[in-house]
Amino acid sequence: MTTNFADKTVWTGDNLDILRGLNSDCVDLIYLDPPFNSNRNYAAPVGSAAAGAAFKDTWTLSDLDVAWMGLIADEQPAMYQVLQTAGLTHGKGMQSYLCMMAVRLLEMRRVLKDTGSIYLHCDPTASHYLKLLMDSIFGQGNFRNEVIWSYRRWPSQSSRFQTMHDVILMFAKGEKPTFNIDYEPPSASYLRRFKGRTQVLDPETGTRKLVVDRPTKGMPQRDVWDISIIAGSSKERIGYPTQKPLALLERIIKASSDEGDVVLDPFCGCATACVAAENLGRRWVGIDISPKAVELVNMRLQQTMGELFHNRLVTARKDIPRRTDIDAPIPYRQNKHVLFGQQEGRCNGCRSAFEFRHLEVDHIIPRSHGGADHLENLQLLCAHCNRVKGDRPQEYLVARLREMGMAA
């Protein structure tokens, strides 16, 4: 499917609204490094390149449009059970965080191609809950790897083992995702013993033998990656909270995309994934709530590529994209007739039956939130439900009707 955005685009805004406006099946690889629900607030130091960039990583029900829960309960029962379990075992904060992630991951699955993969970066705080959430969205059979990013840092006094790893959950959308096998260099002991030659299994004897004329490629990449964090004195460090090393993103992009493919980072922050994608000849798009992201990706690409990037500055957008992969809307009255038959003459809010003339055509996801004019995003509401909903998504109406005791 074709994209409806230019290469090297960074959107500023709520990634849910922007994701809803992207065409389906248009992205080859998604990497996301969302907030971890760490109960901390992050801000870049004053004077650093990323100064002004900040985000909150503490989640409560006040941060959440609680209407999402009602929508998920109606349409995604397996996912709803995951959220309920998280609320009971870990608390409402975790439930709110997972609900925020769930509605976005559903859109990410839609925009991902059948040959695409998604890498979700998390830490042990929420990784086990996120794995269940991803299972419910992408299917347990499409789980590929739990990659462990292992690193070392200055230890602190603690009554438990030092936490020095992050988790990266890798899922495919379809049965045949793009995957390029990489190899780890052979160990020093292997080189000393076998002089760089390859060992193969003799099918007749079942024993290993050396192939002199075929140099070893090393061992296929493990799911434990020893990649150093960015040192405080490194030129790569820009002072952004939770900045990840380029080497980590380059390994992911090389493994699950080819040159010319489209890489999406919906929580792009300091744009490490965008920079890595540019370095490797991929097209890319990033989304971040902070306008600082556009400035940072321009700065980092110019530092990395110098004159090569002179005439290829980033496209900065704040609008909601309009999907181009759907048919032109059919006339209002024809839509209304189709919807009246589909809904059997009932309001899609309170579920009460009405005459044709008393029902109104409404957008399930409003245009202002990335909703399109196609039939799948339209519904019929009675006048009361339409006024309650206003210019808000359908999940808001569902929650309000439940509060009023009017939901079916």
Whether 148 and 196 map to the same domain: the answer is no
Please indicate, yes or no, whether residues 340 and 394 belong to a single structural domain of this protein. yes
Of the residues 292, 317, 342, which one is the last residue of a structural domain?
Answer: 317
Lowest mean pLDDT among 19-33, 40-54, 119-133, 255-269: 40-54
| Ranges of H-type helices in 321-393 | 332-342, 383-389
At 141-200, the pLDDT tens digits run: 999 999 999 998 777 777 888 888 999 999 999 999 999 998 887 766 666 665 556 666
Residues paired with residue 201 on neighbouring β-strands, in sequence order? 208
Judgement on whether residues 213 and 259 belong to the same structural domain of the protein: no
Q: Mind listing the pLDDT tens digit for each residue in 76-135?
A: 889 999 999 999 999 888 888 899 999 999 999 999 999 999 999 998 888 999 999 999
324 in a structural domain: no
* Sign of the dihedral through C-alpha 303, 274, 34, 180: negative
Which CATH number does the domain housing residue 38 bear?
3.40.50.150
DSSP characters for 127-191?
Answer: HHHHHHHHHHHH-GGGEEEEEEEE--------SS----EEEEEEEESSSS------EEPPPHHHH
For the cut 50, the answer to whether the pLDDT of residue 43 exceeds it is no
Q: How many structural domains compose the chain?
A: 3
Residue 340 lies in a domain: yes
Is residue 372 in a domain?
Answer: yes
Q: Which domain holds residue 192?
A: 183-219
Give the model's pLDDT for residue 57.
Answer: 47
- For the segment 57-64, the average pLDDT, to the nearest whole number, is 51
Residues 83 and 70 in one domain: yes
168, 196, 219 - which closes a domain: 219
> What is the pLDDT, as a whole number, of residue 405?
86
What value does the mean pLDDT take over residues 285-308? 80
Give domain status of residue 327, yes or no.
Answer: no
Residue 42 and residue 78 in one domain = yes
pLDDT for residue 341: 86
Q: Classify residue 114: in a domain, yes or no.
A: yes
Indicate if 201 and 142 belong to the same structural domain: no
Of 3-7, 53-57, 331-335, minimum mean pLDDT range: 53-57
In a domain, 2, yes or no: no
Q: Could you tell me if 200 and 233 lie in one domain?
A: no
Q: Are 164 and 206 in a shared domain?
A: no
Residues 211 and 225 in one domain: no
Q: Which residue has the tokens 């992009």?
A: 253
Mean of pLDDT values over 302-324:
77
Give per-residue pLDDT as tens, 386-405. Answer: 999 999 989 899 888 988 88
Helix ranges (H only) for 210-367 are 246-256, 272-279, 292-305, 332-342
In a domain, 255, yes or no: yes
20-34, 149-163, 244-258: segment of lowest average pLDDT? 149-163
Region of residue 127 (left: phi > 0; alpha: psi -120 to 50; beta: else): alpha
Higher pLDDT, 297 or 321: 321
256 inside domain:
yes
* Cα distance between residue 239 and residue 242, in whole Å: 9
193 with 261, same domain? Answer: no
Asked if 278 and 343 sit in the same domain, the reply is no
Q: Tell me, what's the pLDDT at 291?
A: 84
Q: Of 219, 244, 277, which residue sits at a domain end?
A: 219
Asked if 104 and 151 sit in the same domain, the reply is yes
User: What whole-number distance in Å separates Cα of residue 371 and Cα of residue 367?
Assistant: 4
